[in-house]
Amino acid sequence: MASELTGILTLLLSATLPEKGKALDHTLRQTLFLEPRSRVRHILTLGFLVSLAMTAPTQAQKLSLLYNFKGSPNAANPRAGLVRDLSGNFYGTTAFGGKSDVFGTVFKLDKSNNETVLHSFKGNDGAFPLAALVMDVNGNLYGTTSSGGASSEGVVFKLSKNGTESTLHNFTGQGDGANPDSSLLRDKKGNLYGTTQAGGAFGGGVVFELTTAGNLIVLHSFCSQQACADGQGPVAGLVKDSAGNLYGTTQYGGSPACSGQYTGCGVVFKVTPAKKETVLYTFCSAKNCTDGTNPIGGVIRDSAGNFYGTTSFGGDPNASCGTVFELSPSPHRNRAIHLRRWNRRVRLPGKPAPRFEAQPLRHYGAWRLV
């Protein structure tokens, strides 16, 4: 049995670290002359070291440059991630560039790394897109611009597969919201969901639904509570569960511990199909804001209902450089929400990797995973 184990361990290390194979073989063969109990301990220890060697990277990852943006009349300064179609082409937005050189573009990068500007924004049809795109099964693209449009407060747009751009909604800066920075979420019926960082009934931004008929429905206006306890200024997109509930973050609002131009350290929120908003977690609830403050990115949700995200600041009191967090339903407190701050980990020891909810298409460079 011992000789079989030595042979297996030698093969494993020779396959992963060939230069160490001979040395390991010699060391393992020496164990055959130990008494049985010591022999087993020795082999198990070496087996653990082999497992570490197999998981350790043997060389740096390789980065390949696909394209350099060149500026007007081409695209310039992308701020968001990419969406990829089934043929392997990439699509994205840039905040600047295009024919106008200032209002931004929608671009395509084909499998041969050839870039094509699909649309140059002109201002009246939108300006400064800062979010990623979503694509339907027919190849049509949907997105937002943070400014421009009829009221200069941003738009929701559609870019058809044949390159025709149409404005689906012009934000007015009033009750419907203003300045959407987030990507859109598209359901199976074709309805679009998103956020605006400003506007709404109380000026703190909104969560909205844009129906296939082109009607915009405000699902929640932030700052509806005193001191914006319900959140203020969402800048990220949303995720949706099977019951139709929407989840996201706001950069401000919640705890008044964070001061400045805006009050509050941010929240994680839920909005039901009945338009009821609930704050799931208020940041800076921990002493010295060790749980983090001011989430700019949204959250992702696994099949067990746990949420994962980041905060821009807070965390270690000596650095305040932000956190990665997990927000999970507690089995011990009647489904109360708990937050766990991670230290240099993307997954807790001993915890299985979460299975994230699938999206229709894979996103590159974005926070959404499939």
Q: What is the pLDDT of residue 117?
A: 96
pTM of the model: 0.76
The answer on pLDDT for 362 being more than 60 is no
Sheet with 337-342: strands ordered across:
300-301, 307-311, 323-329, 337-342
The answer on pLDDT for 223 being more than 90 is yes
The answer on pLDDT for 32 being more than 90 is no
The answer on pLDDT for 9 being more than 70 is no
Distance of CA 141 to the CA centre of its chain: 19
Tokens of 206: 């909104």
Percent of the chain residues past pLDDT 90, beyond the cut: 65
Handedness of CA 6, 11, 12, 17 (dihedral sign): positive
Q: Where are the domains of the chain?
A: 2-55, 224-370
Q: What is the pLDDT of residue 259?
A: 65
Tokens of 181: 């920075």
Comparing CA positions, the residue from 318, 265, 326 lying closest to residue 296 is 265
Question: Amino acid letter at 266?
Answer: G
Which of the pair, 188 or 23, is modelled with greater confidence?
188
Task: Give the H/E segment covering residue 9.
Answer: helix 2-16
Angle (deg, nearest 10), helices 18-30 and 36-55? 170
Other Cβ atoms less than 10 A from the Cβ of 160: the count is 13
Q: What is the pLDDT of residue 118?
A: 97
pLDDT in tens, 113-156: 999 999 999 999 999 999 999 999 999 999 999 999 999 999 99
Q: How far is CA 286 from CA 257, 338, 339, in A?
A: 11, 12, 10
Tokens of 116: 């094509």
pLDDT in tens, 227-268: 899 999 999 999 999 999 999 999 999 988 776 667 899 999
Q: What is the pLDDT of residue 329?
A: 79
- Cβ within 8 Å of residue 205, ≥6 positions away: 177, 178, 195, 196, 197, 198, 199, 221, 222, 223, 232, 233, 234, 250
> In whole angstroms, what is the distance from residue 142 CA to residue 147 CA?
16
Angle (nearest 5°) at CA 140 between 137 and 142 = 110
The answer on pLDDT for 337 being more than 70 is no
**DSSP 8-state secondary structure symbol assigned to residue 4:** H
Task: Give the H/E segment covering residue 46.
Answer: helix 36-55
> In whole angstroms, what is the distance from residue 135 CA to residue 277 CA?
28
Taking all residues of the chain, what is their mean pLDDT, rounded to a whole number? 81
Which of the pair, 267 or 36, is modelled with greater confidence?
267
Other Cβ atoms less than 10 A from the Cβ of 289: the count is 22
pLDDT in tens, 51-81: 544 454 555 788 999 999 999 999 999 999 9
The pLDDT of 95-121, averaged and rounded, is 94
The pLDDT of 313-333, averaged and rounded, is 84
Q: What is the pLDDT of residue 16?
A: 45
Q: What is the pLDDT of residue 257?
A: 76
Is the distance from CB of 295 to CB of 312 less than 8 angstroms? yes
Which of the pair, 171 or 7, is modelled with greater confidence?
171
Cis peptide before 73 (omega within 30 of 0): yes
Q: What is the pLDDT of residue 347?
A: 36
Is the distance from CB of 156 to CB of 141 less than 8 angstroms? no
Of 116-130, 174-188, 330-344, the one with minimum mean pLDDT is 330-344
Q: What is the pLDDT of residue 335?
A: 38
The pLDDT of 79-95, averaged and rounded, is 96
The answer on pLDDT for 338 being more than 50 is yes
Q: How far is CA 314 from CA 13, 138, 285, in A?
A: 42, 43, 11
Is the distance from CB of 228 to CB of 263 less than 8 angstroms? yes
> In whole angstroms, what is the distance from residue 211 CA to residue 228 CA?
28
Helices assigned H by DSSP within 155-304: none
The answer on pLDDT for 182 being more than 90 is yes
> In whole angstroms, what is the distance from residue 90 CA to residue 235 CA?
24
